[in-house]
Amino acid sequence: MTAEQLETFLKRLPQVRALVVGDLMLDEYLWGRAGRISPEAPVPVVEVLRDDLRLGGAGNVVNNLRVLGCPVAVCSVVGDDEDGRFLCERLRRAQVETGGLLFDSGRRTSRKTRILAGHQQMLRIDRESRQPLDEATELALLREIGARLPDCDVLFLSDYGKGVLTDSLLAAVIALARQAGRPVVVDPKGDDYRKYRGATLLTPNRSEAAQAAAMAIADEASLALVGARLLAEADLAALVITRSEEGMSLFRPDQPPLHLPTRAREVFDVSGAGDTVLALIGAGLAAGLALEQAAGVANLAAGVVVGKVGTSTVSRQEILEAAGLTDADSKIQDAAALQIVLRRLQQLGRKVVFTNGCFDLLHAGHVSYLQQARELGQVLVLGLNSDASVRRLKGPSRPLVAEQDRATVLAALACIDYVVLFDEDTPLRLIETLRPDILVKGGDYQPETVVGRAQVESWGGRVAILPFVDGRSTSGIVAKVLCQHA
């Protein structure tokens, strides 16, 4: 796939209309540190430092599609409870069409709570219902799906085995989609894939595929046997088996397997990676990509998302970066454009971190500080003082490096997502415009003295103070250079 084809595909995504049907749930993350053993039992005590509540299950497929710019409608059944209403409101805030979301007082909305210390998951707690839909609810859901199929370009079925996708509903929905000429891509569950007969594509992971085929996967030969068996049993046009750090493999009838190695730099967490693969392959097929091209893009995206902790998404820019087709200039934004981008990311549950400074001569202390700031959330925005602002703050001999050059160098750092220039002496107006979730300052600041603290806390955010690296400063570097060349 050429660079031009990839860029054209990504630009076309806002025209791909998606319908997502399946098990919606909430993924809750409690982040903390474990420094001692409980006196009550031989278990670690986790001191919770922050928490995060995200859309999970089929909701993570929705998240991935919305981040890519696709219009999305969702059809599902959740409990008539607080979590169900929260989930619905979160979808609406993400501009997802929720008219096909039904509430059932006899069900509990699924919530999975993960307790983590650092990047290590200590425990998972599941609260959910698994019983199949009753006949009346199933018929009501089928009507909602049928009403929306003509207006979609691709149907996603996200099956987590929580009872929404019954065998009879699957058969009816797949038949409707085939009659309408819509591709059907499925993230499957269980050990019998015949219930998905007629679907365009299934995307199980390695262990799910082995379970469904009742065969162990020990090498590529046994993997090929599993792929061939599942293709035949489920009457599929194609099958993609995701293989974590080994990438993915594409199987089609009467063709040799296509193995795509991962391009992940690091693998932190594979949870939710299957949702990303499902979203990219389905959107790719709907946008006119060949199957092997869609799988290639999905593999790029999966390589990005497994480097994040928890159920996550991947943006169009991250896909371009993974393909080596973008440069630092695309990260440099004006405040008005960036405000719109950040609103959408926050609606999807991503924490925006903001810090600011002159960054005249970039050094190791700066890089360490910025990397620490990025770890506090999912998006790091750097407010950069303009040349005029630096002169007022530092004197007429500064800056040593012009603002556009400073911005370009900073944007080249992997830990920085966006750079935005500001002319004022303080970033207060910029903070009020961007409304970050976390405001970060470095050094010996007290939180109450940080510019923008009151504003950030007023909309539910917080201030974080990070230490600087001792012995590293721009002023010190300048003084050393002047001394050596005097």
Tell me whether residue 275 is one of the annotated catalytic residues. Answer: yes
Residue 279 — φ and ψ, nearest 5°? -60, -45
The beta strand positions in 150-257, using DSSP E, are 154-158, 184-187, 201-202, 238-242, 248-251
- Output the six-digit token pair for 480: 């050393």
Are 183 and 201 contacting, i.e. CB atoms less than 8 angstroms apart? yes
Give the distance from CA 372 to its chain's centroid: 20
- Beta bridge mates, 355: 382
- Output the six-digit token pair for 89: 């409101």
Give 204's DSSP letter. -
Q: How far apart are CA 152 and CA 259, in angstroms?
A: 30
Specify burial of residue 376 (Cβ count, 10 A radius: 0-12, 13-18, 19+): middle
Are 48 and 32 contacting, i.e. CB atoms less than 8 angstroms apart? yes
Q: How far apart are CA 480 and CA 486, in angstroms?
A: 10
299 among annotated binding-site residues: no
Contacts of 324 (CB under 8 A, 6+ apart): none
**C-alpha closest to that of 2 among 412, 328, 320, 327:** 320
Residue of 275, 360, 387, 437 marked active site: 275
Helix (H, G, I), strand (E, B) or coil at 398: coil
- Output the six-digit token pair for 208: 């799910």
From the CB of residue 60, how many other CB atoms can be counted at a distance below 10 Å? 30
Q: Is the dihedral of CA 314, 317, 319, 322 positive or negative?
A: negative
Are 61 and 278 contacting, i.e. CB atoms less than 8 angstroms apart? yes
CB environment 132-153: b (16+ within 10 A), e (fewer): bbeeebbeebbebbbebbeebb
**Cα–Cα distances in Å, from 131 out to 18, 31, 162?**
27, 31, 7
208 among annotated binding-site residues: yes
Interstrand relation of 44-57 and 201-202 (parallel, antiparallel or unpaired): unpaired
Helix (H, G, I), strand (E, B) or coil at 184: strand
Which helix (H) or strand (E) segment is 353 a member of?
A: strand 352-357
- Output the six-digit token pair for 410: 């900073």
205 among annotated binding-site residues: yes
206 among annotated binding-site residues: yes
Q: Where is the binding site for ATP, in residues?
A: 205-208
Enumerate the active-site residues.
Answer: 275
